[in-house]
């Protein structure tokens, strides 16, 4: 079951710009193992793709990400109007696993 979760990337976001994001908890159907992932896609797009793999996902909230690959900076902020605010500290920890040499910050600011 853990190998199923291993097939899902922790982070999948645009390389540059300001965009909405969602924080999802992915669980193996009928199992207890789960992991959190960050996506810049809408839930309705991500969920069917994960269900095909035998996984269930639950949206934990969202916000916005400002990604500047030239300066190697990422800022996480704001909230999702549809899902509420994600725990940005969890999002930042996930981003740090992929963008190891970046300056990654978060705030509760709207901009």
Mark the binding-site residues for substrate, compressed into ranges.
20
Binding residues: 20
Distance CA 20, CA 11 (A): 14
**36: CB partners within 8 A, 6+ apart:** 10, 23, 24, 25, 26, 60, 90, 94
Return the residue matching tokens 């991500």.
46
CB 73 within 8 A of CB 106: no
């Amino acid at each position: 079951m853990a190998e199923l979760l291993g097939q899902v990337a922790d982070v999948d976001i645009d390389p540059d710009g300001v965009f909405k994001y969602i924080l999802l908890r992915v669980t193996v159907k009928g199992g207890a193992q789960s992991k959190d992932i960050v996506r810049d896609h809408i839930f309705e797009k991500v969920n069917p793709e994960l269900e095909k793999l035998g996984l269930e996902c639950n949206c934990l909230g969202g916000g916005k990400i400002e990604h500047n690959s030239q300066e190697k900076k990422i800022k996480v902020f704001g909230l999702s109007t549809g899902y509420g605010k994600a725990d940005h500290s969890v999002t930042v920890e996930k981003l740090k696993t992929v963008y190891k040499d970046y300056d990654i910050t978060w705030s509760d600011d709207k901009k």
